[in-house]
Structures are given as structure tokens and as C-alpha cells.
């Protein structure tokens, strides 16, 4: 396969032709003190802080701060209402409903499939190999002329492992559609992020989020990093004011707390190692798969029974036993020291029904 990446050929025609909504604040640039252009309430908001003005549609303050933290120019960043918004926009930009297809590598994150179904886009599944790494040969045969995107998740959810970097590079180098690398858990991994490779690969889209390591799941802020041309497409499609002012304010404040976040990452990884070592000794445990994230996949003798027994003790883990290649598996998020001890005790008190 010779790589011939051409963004224009990949985009849907309606998106190429699309004239995006132009908001009041898009049309005015410069200094002013009286804003009578957007039908806002000029008197204020019934809150301590005023939220009566529409927020910056491009969220530049956050992007400049993220540019510093990530070492990526602000023009290469898109911000969405969670990563899920970025995933949905990718489908709408590139995939003609009922015609185009995307490749997913299960077991992996469920939203790629749900979003494909919402957008009436065919899914081709190429399962991971036994070791939860990519099956490059099977990937190559699954690609046809209507394959627009390949979703890779590294570290992968629910398996927890990094995908091998050389394999990801092979996909980037040989596929001339869009390669989406979901790095929701990259902060916990020893792997380098692919966001430094944007100039190398015009077909690369990297997804990250503030929902995991950054501890901001409730604020809903997902990030996509890509070429300026691809980010331009995201900006055309997104709702004009997709990130509210309250989220923008709080995210800007939270981004100053990076040293606290880095401490938590170290703690989560060391707590994970401790917890895994102890769980490995329990009779209920069949296997714990190596993890590069803040969770791990544990194969048990009776996933359903163990899950129910934990629920009765007020402890919720994720039952993944019905997921392809995950028979008997529970996915467990690393908690605080106290929470992990409660989990261990909960599992010790589990007695199989015979
Ligand atoms: C949690 C998670 C996300 C984050 O989604 P948000 O919408 O940003 O909260 C994205 N991808 C994967 C694989 C995840 O596990």
C-alpha cells in the first residue's frame, strides 16, 4: 500500500461545502464596551458571578495554557464537550452514512461503536491478538476503499495495556485514512504521547481528556490534537459555544494545579502495583493483565458472583465478562488507599456459591 493522504478526498462533500454558523462574537473583533449584538441579558445573571455573556467559542485562553503544558501550538488543539464530542465530529466529518466504514480493535472503548451506530457508519472489527496487541495482518486485510478511520486506544480500555509503538507507527505509515489514537490514559503510561508527531503524520488525530488523570470528569472537557487543517474541520462542525463559561473558568484554574495532578498520577500507579500484588494472591484471581493505566483487568473464576458480592458491600467495579476476549473479567479502577483496602477485604469475604 502506498500512502496517499489527501484530506479533501477523505472529507464528506457536505462538510467540504459547509458554511459554518457565524456567531455575533465571531463577526466582531477588537475592543468594545457595549455589546448589543447577541440578545443576551444586559442586566446580569441571578448568580454571584456574571454568566450573561456568551463564552469564547474558540476557548483560546485554555488552548494557550494547554499549548504550554503539552508543547503543541494552540491552532492544533480542538476542545470538546468530553472526548465523545470529538469522536462524534470525526464520524460526521469523514464517514458517509451507509457507505463508509471504520475499523475498531476490540476489546476496546465502547463509544467508538455507539457513535458509529448513531451516524449509521459500518464497523469492521479486527480483534486484538491474544496479548491484547494489534493484529497488523488482519488490519491490512480489513481495509478497503471506503475505510475512513481506524481507532486505536493506547493505553487500551478495558485491557489497560499500551499498544506497541512500532505497531501504531506501522498503521500511521501505511493507512491513508484518519488514524485516531485515544490517549485518555496516557498520563499513567511510560509511553510517549503521539501529540509530538503531528507534523510527521497528516492523518493523525490524538484524543486526550481532562476526565481521568486531571480529575475533572464532571466538567466535560475532551481534547483533540491534529493538523491545523483537521482542526479547522472540527471547528466548522462543532456547535458554536460547545464549552460553557463555567467549564472554561474552572478548567483554566485547574490547569494551574499540574503538580498536584502529577503527584496523584504517581500515587495511582504505586497504589495500582500494591493492589495488583495483593489481589494476585487471592483464590478468586485467575490472572491480572499488565496495566499502563489507572485501572486493570482481572480475570476471575466467577465474575458475576464476585461483582454481586461486592455490590452488596457497596463496592462497584465494572463487570466486563460479556465483552469479547474478557470472559470472567472485572475492570477495576485504582482507588484511594482506604478504598483499595475495602476492595481487598470485600474480595476476601467472597465465598463461591456451590
Ligand atoms: C474515559 C475515556 C474517555 C473520556 O471520555 P470523556 O468524554 O472525555 O470523559 C475517552 N476514551 C477512553 C478510552 C476512555 O476510557
Extents of the domains making up the chain: 7-256, 259-348
Report which of 163, 169, 229, 164 is spatially closest to residue 200, judged by C-alpha positions: 169
d(CA 54, CA 94): 29
Question: What is the number of the ligand 1 atom nearest to the C-alpha of 212?
Answer: 1
Ligand 1 atom 2: residue of nearest CA: 184
pLDDT digits (tens, 9 = 90+) for 22-77: 887 777 778 889 999 999 999 999 999 999 999 999 999 999 999 999 999 999 99
The domain defined by 259-348 folds into: 3.90.1150
Using the atom order of ligand 1, give the atom closest to the CA of residue 153.
Answer: 13
Q: What is the mean pLDDT of residues 310-338?
A: 97
* C-alpha Rg value of the chain to the nearest Å: 22
Establish whether residue 83 lines the binding site of ligand 1, counting it when its CB lies within 6 angstroms of any ligand atom.
yes
Q: What whole-number distance in Å separates Cα of residue 151 and Cα of residue 163?
A: 12
Mean pLDDT of the chain: 96
302-313 per-position pLDDT tens digit: 999 999 999 999
pLDDT tens, residue by residue, 141-172: 999 999 999 999 999 999 999 999 999 999 99
Read off the pLDDT of each residue in 207-218 and give the average, rounded to a whole number: 98
- Binding site membership of 222 for ligand 1 (Cβ less than 6 Å): yes
CA of 182 to the centre of ligand 1 (A): 8
How many Cα atoms occupy the beta-carbon half-sphere of 59 within 13 Å? 31
C-alpha cell at 36: 448589543
Reported as a pLDDT band with limits 50, 70 and 90, residue 354 is low
Distance 332 CA to ligand 1 centre (A): 16
Position 1 scores a pLDDT of 47
CATH number belonging to the domain at 7-256, selected among 3.90.1560.10, 2.30.30.90, 3.40.190.290, 3.40.640.10: 3.40.640.10
Amino acid at each position: 500500500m502506498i500512502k496517499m493522504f489527501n484530506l479533501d478526498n477523505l472529507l464528506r462533500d457536505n462538510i467540504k461545502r459547509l458554511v459554518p454558523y457565524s456567531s455575533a462574537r465571531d463577526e466582531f473583533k477588537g475592543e468594545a464596551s457595549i455589546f448589543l449584538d447577541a440578545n443576551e441579558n444586559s442586566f446580569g445573571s441571578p448568580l454571584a458571578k456574571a454568566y450573561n455573556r456568551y463564552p469564547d467559542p474558540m476557548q483560546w485562553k485554555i488552548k494557550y495554557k494547554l499549548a504550554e503544558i503539552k508543547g503543541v501550538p494552540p491552532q492544533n488543539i480542538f476542545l470538546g464537550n468530553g472526548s465523545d464530542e470529538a469522536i462524534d465530529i470525526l464520524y460526521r466529518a469523514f464517514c458517509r452514512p451507509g457507505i463508509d466504514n471504520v475499523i475498531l480493535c476490540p476489546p476496546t472503548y465502547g463509544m467508538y461503536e455507539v457513535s458509529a451506530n448513531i451516524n449509521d457508519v459500518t464497523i469492521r472489527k479486527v480483534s486484538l491478538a491474544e496479548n491484547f496487541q494489534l493484529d497488523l495482518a488482519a488490519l491490512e486485510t480489513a481495509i478497503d476503499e471506503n475505510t475512513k478511520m481506524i481507532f486505536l486506544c493506547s493505553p487500551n480500555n478495558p485491557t489497560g495495556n499500551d499498544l506497541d509503538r512500532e505497531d501504531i507507527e506501522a498503521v500511521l505509515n501505511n493507512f491513508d485514512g484518519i488514524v485516531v489514537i485515544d490517549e485518555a490514559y496516557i498520563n499513567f503510561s511510560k509511553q510517549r504521547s503521539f501529540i509530538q508527531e503531528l507534523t510527521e503524520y497528516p492523518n493523525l488525530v490524538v484524543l486526550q481528556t481532562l476526565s481521568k488523570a486531571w480529575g475533572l470528569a464532571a466538567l466535560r472537557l475532551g481534547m483533540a490534537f491534529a493538523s491545523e487543517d483537521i482542526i479547522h474541520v472540527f471547528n466548522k462542525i462543532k456547535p458554536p459555544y460547545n464549552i460553557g463559561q463555567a467549564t472554561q473558568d474552572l478548567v483554566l484554574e485547574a490547569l494551574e494545579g499540574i503538580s498536584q495532578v502529577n503527584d496523584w498520577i504517581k500515587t495511582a500507579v504505586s497504589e495500582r502495583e500494591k493492589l495488583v500484588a495483593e489481589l494476585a494472591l487471592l483464590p478468586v484471581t485467575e490472572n491480572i493483565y499488565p496495566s499502563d493505566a489507572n485501572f486493570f483487568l482481572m480475570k476471575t473464576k466467577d465474575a458475576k458472583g464476585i461483582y454481586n458480592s461486592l455490590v452488596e458491600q457497596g463496592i462497584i467495579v465494572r463487570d466486563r465478562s460479556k465483552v469479547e476476549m474478557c470472559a470472567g473479567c472485572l475492570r477495576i479502577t485504582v482507588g484511594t488507599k482506604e478504598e483499595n483496602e475495602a476492595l481487598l477485604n470485600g474480595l476476601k469475604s467472597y465465598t463461591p456459591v456451590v
